[in-house]
Amino acid sequence: MRSNSPLSSNSSLPSNPTPPADPTPSPTPAQGGRSFIEQARRSQIIEAAIVTVADNGYQNASLSRIAKTAGISKSVISYHFTDKDELLEEVVVHLFHTAWYRVEPLLAAESTAIGKLRVWITEQLANMSRSRHEVIAIGQIVGNHRAADRSLRFETEIESGVNMLAGIIADGQRSGELVAGDPTVAAITVGHGIEGVINRAVLHPDTDLAHCAEELTALITRALAER
């Protein structure tokens, strides 16, 4: 069954211990043997796919529609990508790496579990403000894209994000900063809280996401830290 939500369940960034040094480097011939022009064209197609999925939904993001968004013919997409599956997987990899590259140093700079959770919540919601199309697109793709066996293609990546949050919470519990409890349940709750705010922002673009980040962080702090 496809997701009816603008975002998938817990479609937060995955944990990535070895993010690329630069998630959006200048294209060079060394990248998979592609020329500068080829890499630039692939980037153009990826950006068009992001906008098309965000504006039309996963089910309606055909290669023809993506080509129209990019202002190119469908055959150009087929030259650079085997099929829609390969293109959308490339979109997710690109967006995950770009977002993780931004948030990882902020998490590393925090010494407390609450500080790390605050960074995570704030950055996830800030992404909606600065990259609305990207946030909606990644939720649509992660929540609907299937592997050959019909399982969710990005289930491992979704689970990775939950596990990372659970690890932060478990560390806080061991140090005595956070109250005892199931860290995985807590991590899922944090993820769904973020998702709920973003879904509201999809329906109500004037949602004050900075205020929501503060309120959600305060709520999570009370639930996990107060005795």
Give me the helix-helix angle, 209-225 and 113-130, nearest 10°.
Answer: 160
Superfamily of domain 84-225: Tetracycline Repressor, domain 2 (1.10.357.10)
More confident residue, 38 or 2: 38
pLDDT at 4: 43
Residue 108 CA from chain centroid, whole number: 19
pLDDT in tens, 139-181: 999 989 888 888 888 888 888 889 999 999 999 999 999 999 9
pLDDT in tens, 78-90: 999 999 999 999 9
The CATH number of domain 27-81, selected from 1.10.10.60, 3.40.50.300, 3.40.50.720, 3.40.50.2000: 1.10.10.60
pLDDT in tens, 88-130: 999 999 998 888 899 999 999 999 999 999 999 999 999 999 9
Residue 146: beta bridge partners?
152
pTM for the whole structure: 0.79
Q: 115: burial class by Cβ within 10 Å (0-12, 13-18, 19+)? A: middle
d(CA 221, CA 225): 5
pLDDT at 109: 97
